Structure 1
Amino acid sequence: MVLAVRKANENESGLLSFNHEAVALDSGTSCVRRARAFAGRRLTVMPFSLQATMELFGEPSIDLITPGGAVNAEEGSIVGPLAEASVRALRFDTAIISPCGALPADGATAHDIQDASVKRAIISAARRTILVAGGSKFCALRWPQCAPFQHSMFWLRIGRLHLESSSNCARKTWK
C-alpha cells in the first residue's frame, strides 16, 4: 500500500499541478476549492457537484462535461445510476475524491450508499486517484466504504495534521 500524505493550501495543491488531463471531480467543499484552483489550466473536467460545476462554468480554459443523475438536495452532489453510467462511459487521467472519512487500514468512506457508488465508479474510471479533505477527515470513518487505499491513490490534506503512525490513528495529534 502506498499512501502519500501532502499538505495543500488554497493556491498550491501539490499533486494537482497538471494540464491537458481529463479529471473527474467529486463533490464536497474540498473539491470545490480544487475547482477554483483549476482556473487558467487546460483541463477537461467532469464535476459531480452543482457547486463545483458553477465554479468551472464560464472558465475559458476548462472543457466542462456534466454527468447525468439525480441531485442530492442535502449536498448538491450528483448521484444515482445515470451519474454512474456517465462516468463509466469515459476514462480519466485523474480522479479527485473528497471522502467523508478515511483510515489507512479501512480506506475512504462516503456520505451514503449512492455517494459511495458514484465514488467507486469514478475511481474505477481513473488512472490515478487523489483524495482531498480536511485533516478532520483523516482517521474518521463513516459508512459506507467507497474505496480501499491503493497504490495509485494519494491523500492530499487541507489543514494541519500530524500522525505519529499512519496505521495508528489513535495517536493523532493536531497542531
Structure 2
Amino acid sequence: MLDYAAFPKQRQDLIRKILRDQGRVVCIELAQQMGVSEHTVRRDLHELSKEGVCKKVYGGAVLQLPDAGTLDSRKGQNLSAKSTIAQRCASLITSENCIFIDAGSTNLAMAKSLPDELTITVVTNAPDIAAALLKHPNIEVIMLGGRIQKDSGGSVGNTAIEQLRNIMFDQAFMGGCAMSPEAGLTGFNFDDCEFKKAAIAQSSQVIVGLTSEKIPGVARFSVASCEDIDILVVEENLDKNFHSSFLAENITILTV
C-alpha cells in the first residue's frame, strides 16, 4: 500500500480524482483513507484551492467547476435535460401571478414552453426571453433595462437592480452555474450574481432548475444559500446523498 504520508503529489492526485468522481471531499474521511492527519489533508486542500481545483468548505472541500462560457455556447448543451427541467418549472406557475425569469438557457426553454392559456406578468432581464414571451397571447412582459452582459445574456448593474426593487414577485426562476449543500447556488460573474441576489430578495418563492453536471460544484461568487431556495428542479440521477443533504436544508426537490 502506498505511504501517502511521504508522497504529497500522490495524495493530491487522489483528492483530485475523488473530487472529479464525487464532487466533494471530507477531511476526516480522507485522513482515514490515506493514513495521514487531518492537518495534512487540510494543507493539501489549501494547495488545491490555490490552483482552482476546489473551494474549501467546513469539514472539507467542493469541486470548483470551470467557467460555463457564453450564453450562445450554453444554448446547444444538454438540450433534452434542459427541456425536461424547463417544462417541470413551467408547471409550477399559477395564473395571475407576477414572476421573475432570470437569464439563462434553461429559463429560455421554460419561457418557450409556457402554455397559451396561462395569464401572468413576467419580469425578465434577458432580451431573448422577453422576445420569446412577446409571442405569447396572455403574458404581460416587463423588460428590465441597463447594460446587457454578453456572457449571461441579461442586463445587470444598478439600473436593473433599482428597477427590481420596485416590484414584488410571487415566484423567481433563477439560474446558476453550480450548486452544493455547503456553498448553495453560485456563479462566475460578480455583477450577475449581485443582480440575482437582488431578484431573490424581492420574491416570495425561489425556484432553481439545474442540470446534473452543475451539482455538486462551486463557482467563484455566491448567489444564494440553500436556505434562500425553496424548490430545486433536477434530473432524477441526482446522487441520493446530495438529495438528502438538500432536503435537510428544507429545499423541496422535484426530479424529472
* TM-score normalised to structure 2 length: 0.58
Larger helix share, 1 or 2: 2
Where does the alignment leave 5 or more consecutive residues of structure 2 unmatched? 1-81, 247-256
Matched residue count: 161
Which position in structure 2 is the counterpart of 1:68? 145
SS in 2 for 1:150: helix
Match of 1:111 among 181, 185, 188: 188
Q: Which has the higher contact order (CA 8 A, sep 6+)?
A: 1
Equivalent residue of 1:117, what SS? helix
Runs of 4+ that moved beyond 6 A: none
Structure with the higher fraction of residues in strand conformation? 1
> AA paired with 1:26?
D
Amino acid at match of 2:214: K
Alignment partners' CA distance in 1, 2:87 and 2:106: 13
Distance 2:226 2:83 in 1: 20
**C-alpha contact (below 8 Å) 1:88/1:121 kept by paired residues:** yes
* Cα distance in 2, alignment partners of residues 11 and 131 from structure 1: 13
Distance 1:14 1:28 in 2: 15
Q: Any conservation in 2 of the 1:101–1:142 contact (CA below 8 Å)?
A: yes
Deviations 1:7-51 (A, max 9, x none): 981544376242111111001101101111224211100112122
What is the CA–CA distance in structure 2 between the aligned matches of 1:111 and 1:54, rounded to whole Å? 25
Match of residue 165 from structure 1: 241
The 1:149/1:8 distance shift into structure 2, 3 A limit, reads farther
* Deviations 1:109-138, CA, capped at 9 Å, x for gaps: 123111101100110000000011211112
**Contact 2:208 2:229 (C-alpha < 8 Å) held by counterparts:** no
Which residue does the alignment assign to 1:100? 177
Query: Does residue 32 of structure 1 match 2:108?
Result: yes
Larger radius of gyration: 2
* Alignment check: 8 A CA contact 2:185 2:222 kept: yes
Partner Cα distance (2:182, 2:83) in 1: 23
Residues 123-132 or 145-154, more deviating: 145-154
Separation in 1, partners of 2:185, 2:201 = 14
Partners of 1:39 and 1:61 within 8 A in 2: no
Identical aligned residues as a percent: 20
Matches for 1:43-62 after TM superposition, within 5 Å: 43-62=120-139
Change (3 A) 1:91 1:55: same
Give the structure 1 partner of residue 211 of structure 2: 134
- TM-score, scaled to structure 1: 0.83
Q: Is the 8 A contact 2:126 2:155 kept in 1?
A: yes
Contact persistence 1:127–1:152 (CA under 8 A)? no
Partner AA of 2:113 in structure 1: A
Match of 2:64 in 1: none
8 Å Cα contact 2:126-2:143 kept in structure 1: no
